[in-house]
Structure 1
Amino acid sequence: MRWNLILLAAGYSRRFGDRKLLAEINGTPLYRFSLDRIRKLSEKLKESSVLVVTSYPEIEVYCRKQRVAVIRNDGTDNTGIASSIQKSLEYLETQERKRADSRMADVFFTADQPGLDETEVLAFLNQYASQNKKIGTMECRNIWRSPNVFDVCYRPELLQLSADKGGKTVMKQHTEDVFCFHTEKESQFLDIDTREDLLRISDKLFS
């Protein structure tokens, strides 16, 4: 199984009022929590790559120093999450040498979930790989969470998304093909939209 681990880090954070992903928790920029966990996941998976899509020059500089593949999505190109998904898939298709004997999947992560549990994500991906459904999601309290995984056969539909429509739009159209990994650990899905969220989640996760 070949995994493309994609971190979506190009949002403009309008509700936060500033460049959210550079805000610090215990001295660490927010985006680093997700990125560091994804890199650890990549080390544990047999075949994988990490790709970051960002609108932040600082994140691009950090990724290049760490030899993590990064592409920019900013300015008029950045029309919402759909444009980040599209840029990541277009980039991957220029890099890949597809093998008929290797199943491949794209895994999308968001950059504002500092509590994400890489052990549970690894279990999720391993279970997804062991069954026949082509879409996967982590599910908690009957809600689909992030990250989400898509077999490459869904790339054409993902490339047709627009504005702020993300992968869940495709998932809702193919519910019969969605594998749900159930977890009770809701704290790992806490995301940050406002400064109040940042303080609340920092206290909850790191007090």
Structure 2
Amino acid sequence: MNVDAIIMAAGLSKRMNQNKLKMKIGDKHIYEYIFEAVKNCTGCFKDVIVVAKDNDVLRKASETGFNYVKNEESFLGQSVSIRLGVQKAGLVDGFMFFVADQPYIKEKTIKKLLKAFEENPDKIIIPCCNQTNGNPVIFPYVFREQLMNLSGDAGGKSIIKKNSDGLLNVDFKSDYEFTDIDTMEDYDRAVKKKVKY
């Protein structure tokens, strides 16, 4: 089963008034935690593609051994990052989309989702906690065209809504790992808690 990881790291951080991905939790930038978790999944992915606009993030992607593509049009919405990532990906069974502002994701969680996809290769795999969906999400290759046709700030959720029969929710007891750093309050909490592995 071949899956490409696509790490989306080109968000505008509108609610933070700065590039949140370059803010630090402990001794690492926020985005470095997801890089580390994905890298630690040795042999899980055919390729890892980072989509970013910041040169430091792109440089770190290269140093980590990941492929990367620069998003010069992140202001046009999340769909641009999705399209660039899918375009860069190869002929694979699926695409696993990560957001770079989730520093708590663990290797075992990634592997649990990949195992679910291996057992259900025609399903969109979504982590779920308390009936709330999260990221990362795995889309089978058959959805490539729909992903490439996204526009504006329409992310994968629009495809998920249209394909409710083709979903598989993978349940988790805690939503800790799926927490995004979207506000200064989120960031302050993360700094106090630090990142637990």
> TM-score if structure 1 supplies the norm length?
0.89
The offset of 1:189, in angstroms, is 1.0
Tell me the residue number matched to 1:117. 106
Cα distance, 1:140–1:205 mapped onto 2, change above 3 Å: farther
Counterpart amino acid of 2:62?
R
The offset of 1:151, in angstroms, is 0.7
Counterpart amino acid of 1:204?
K
CA distance in 2, matches of 1:12, 1:77: 7
The offset of 1:201, in angstroms, is 2.1
1:166 aligns with 2:155: yes
Tell me the residue number matched to 1:14. 14
Quick check: 2:37–2:107 contact (8 Å CA) kept in 1?
Answer: yes
The offset of 1:202, in angstroms, is 2.5
The offset of 1:159, in angstroms, is 1.2
Counterpart amino acid of 1:80?
G
List per-residue Cα deviations over 1:36-74 (Å, max 9, x = no partner): 101112x142x5211100011101111222321010002
Quick check: 1:23–1:30 contact (8 Å CA) kept in 2?
Answer: yes
> TM-score if structure 2 supplies the norm length?
0.93
2:130 to 141, 146, 149: 141
CA distance in 1, matches of 2:190, 2:115: 28
Tell me the residue number matched to 2:97. 108
The offset of 1:196, in angstroms, is 1.9
Give the paired residue count.
Answer: 196
1:157 aligns with 2:146: yes
Tell me the residue number matched to 1:73. 71
2:82 to 82, 85, 89: 85
Cα distance, 1:202–1:130 mapped onto 2, change above 3 Å: same
Counterpart amino acid of 1:149?
I
SS at match of 1:169: helix
Quick check: 2:97–2:138 contact (8 Å CA) kept in 1?
Answer: yes
Tell me the residue number matched to 1:191. 180
Cα distance, 1:132–1:65 mapped onto 2, change above 3 Å: closer
Quick check: 2:25–2:190 contact (8 Å CA) kept in 1?
Answer: no
List per-residue Cα deviations over 1:90-112 (Å, max 9, x = no partner): 122xxx3x4xxxx6100000001
User: Superposition RMSD on alpha carbons, in Å?
Assistant: 1.6
Please, which runs of 5 or more residues in structure 2 have no aligned partner?
A: none
CA distance in 1, matches of 2:27, 2:184: 16
Deviates most, 172-181 or 125-134: 125-134
Tell me the residue number matched to 2:23. 23
